[in-house]
Amino acid sequence: MEHNKENYFKGLLYAIFCYSAWGVFPLYWKLLIIVPSEQILAHRMIWSMVFLAITILMMRKTSLVSYLRQPRIIGTLILTSILIGLNWGVYIYAVNHEHIVESSLGYYINPLLSVLLGLLFMKERLSKPQMVAVLFALAGLVWLTVDIGRIPWISLSLALTFSLYGFFRKKVNVESMPGLLIETMILAPFALWYLWHVDQNQTGVFLHHSHMTDFLLVLGGLITALPLFMFGMAATRIPLSTLGFVQYLSPTIQLMIGLFVYRETFSTAYFISFFLVWIGVVIYTYSLISAVRERKRITV
């Protein structure tokens, strides 16, 4: 019993660390505001691959080799690599073009969208609270779309790409770090070509601006790999309900940074939209906790 408590506490700390790290990412990408978003993205792909490869070699994970021998897995990871590349690109663009508030809305919606994907494509049954939660999230998006007169494409893109990414990764069922390494290996040739192209056109920033900028671009790989490693450690130690609750730490930190550090606007339309989504989040979290309690009651 004591060992289980210690394991749970460690898992909770890992979860808090990784979601907090993802939450403060805007502060990091803002340090690279002089670098075009496309170049930041390309460097993130390449240096993530490097740091993930070093980590997996140190951990002596053999699963990577077996994944590379299976065409079905590689085919799915080609698709997920496109999705995670788009997600990273939209997020970096959002941060460096003063859309942190809108990006945080996307990550509030993401888990609720994942529930909807489970219903539509995996025939998963939704409880009444989960259905209500999804409806509140959709109402929040519709309200914002009607009020501001355009689709909040950053929120929607981030939520869609990440929930689809999670959906296909769940279907292919590979370990997170070796899977991401293969995804970055798929993306790296395109990223390298792009960086070579901008360098030839004398518009590349890497090695042409400052040592600090170069260092931050390289470090982007480590700050991508480290929270992912922590997430893997957390996922094996704490229940899904706890993880589902802690994940909202990330968009909450992002929202606070957008509002109080970078003074982004938070109109009445955004407030009502967020409020509707927050109601959905509370209902969804409650449904997760209730489901765990019910399973425990049945087990006892």
State the Cα–Cα distance between residues 295 and 142, nearest whole angstrom: 35
Least Cα distance to 177 among 236, 254, 120, 108 occurs for 236
As a whole number, mean pLDDT of residues 117-132 equals: 83
Q: What is the pLDDT of residues 37-94, one digit of tens each?
A: 999 999 999 999 999 999 899 888 888 999 999 999 999 999 999 999 999 999 999 9
CA angle, corner 169, sides to 163 and 161, nearest 5?
30
Other beta carbons within 10 Å of 247: 21
45, 184 contact by CB (below 8 A):
yes
In the numeric block, which tokens belong to residue 74? 């590689």
Distances from the Cα of 49 to the Cαs of 24, 68, 90, 212, 228, in angstroms? 22, 15, 19, 21, 13
Q: Global pTM?
A: 0.91
State the Cα–Cα distance between residues 294 and 241, nearest whole angstrom: 12
What pLDDT does residue 2 have? 53
Provide φ and ψ at 263, rounded to 5°: 50, 45
Which sequence spans correspond to the domains of the chain? 2-299
State the Cα–Cα distance between residues 199 and 9, nearest whole angstrom: 48
Radius of gyration of the chain (CA): 20
